[in-house]
Structures are given as structure tokens and as C-alpha cells.
Amino acid sequence: MSCSLPEIKMPNDTDLLKAECWVPSPNFEKRLNNRSVDLLLLHYTATPTNAYALELLTSKDAGVSSHYLIDGEGEIFQLVGEDYRAWHAGDAFWDGECDINSCSIGIEIQNQGAALARVPAYGRRQMAAVIDLSKDIVRRHNIPPSRVLAHSDVAPHRKQDPGAHFDWKALANEGVGLWVELGGSEVGPMGDLDERGIRLVQQQLSVIGYGLEVTGVFDDRTVLVVTAFQRHFRQGLVSGVLDGETTALIDLLHDQIKA
């Protein structure tokens, strides 16, 4: 049985293109169940060059894509129109939603990330382009700050991108996404949490949106989710350990989202 590829269509006027280049990918489809966009998902490419990332994201055989790709110099490429479902999130979950591709716009950022022993920084022009494009997307789609996320947030069991070296604080300072800080207060180490304490942290992380069952057991899944939280909100020490600072930041973010 053969299947024809979707027609490669130019983005329509509602996309209000910010991209310098339109490089169509065949890997897209209609958003399922007429789902509207309410989530922005950021990735790194984990590729050595932008040319390789572009080749991968536009290859029929690779079966992956994103709406945008930003190279190391801050040039923006659009690969899939925003009206369509790109294939970038994979097996993922956030706040009760399993089909992240249907509700999201994906931005791939050229960076090798964890593929290298020494993780390369995001460039100044590159980060400026990420901020500019992200601001435009969240404005047009009315995406709430709590739904500007890392790939590792929605897939902590298999992804690390865009990594602990991504400047989430700079993005939040421009009104895109959330950031929490402890205001310079000292938070010491914390002893082992009992079942009640673990259940509370799991419940808070679940309310934030992470896919996590409230079991009262600090199991492997909880470690992965705590690690993903730290990559986004406590980047100085990504350990998977529920220390005092991590627990305090989880509490702050939970209260901010619930407010």
C-alpha cells in the first residue's frame, strides 16, 4: 500500500513570516482534531552543522521536522507552515496532553548539545533570533508563559534539549515563558523526604504540567522529571536530587502557575 505525501504548501498570510528562508519539509500533516496552537516547544538540533540539521528536517526518510530552524548566526528558516502539524515532539506529554505535535509550534536551534563533552553555548545573535521569533509566535497564538517549554520538559524520559545552557531567564525577561528565582536567599541541603513530602513534590510537578504519577516513591520517573525541571529552572546543578533549592523553586513555580 502506498501513501502520497501531503502537498508542500507555502505558509499563508496568517503565519506572518519572520523567516529569512523558506525551505519546505515534506514531513507535516493537518493538526489532528482541529487542535489550535497553545504551546511553544524549543529544541536543539544535536547536529554538527546547520546544513546537516536542514537536510535531516527536510528528509522524507528521516520523518522529522519542525516549523522553524535557527542557525548559529541567527538566520531563521521556516520548514513547515504554522497551520500544520510538524513532527518534532515525538513521544511526549504535558498537562494532560499526549499529542504535543498537534497543539504546538516547534523551533529547532542549531547546537550540538549533549553530543559534545563540552556543551557549546548559544550565540548572542542566535539567542536574539530565538527571542524575536518566540515573541512573535506567542503574541499571535496567545500562548501562555506556562506553555513555553523545553523538549526535555515534555519528554524527560528521552530528551535533554535545549539543555541546561539555554538562557530561559533571558527569554522570560522578554515576556516569553516563566522563570523563578529565590531572591538571593540561602537554601541549605535537605534531608531525605518522607512519603508525604515526595507526594507533595510529585503533585506540584504534576500541576505544573509534567507527566508524573503521585506515588510517594522517589522512583526513576520522578528522578527524570526533577532532572528536566532543573535543566529549565535550576541550571547551575542538574543532579536529579531533590535538594532544598530545587524543592523551593518547584514550590515557587507551582504557586506562580496556580495564582
Locus of grid cell 504548501: 9
Q: Helix 195-208 and helix 244-258: axis angle, to 10°?
A: 50
State the Cα–Cα distance between residues 110 and 118, nearest whole angstrom. Answer: 15
Q: From 176, 167, 170, 85, select the one nearest 137 (Cα to Cα).
A: 176
Give 24's contacts (C-beta < 8 A, 6+ positions apart): 8, 10, 58, 79, 80
Give CA torsion, residues 233, 152, 161, 74, to 10 deg: -70
Q: What are φ and ψ of residue 24, in 5° steps?
A: -70, 135
Which residue is catalytic, options 108, 174, 181, 195? 108
186 flagged as catalytic = no
Active site residues: 108
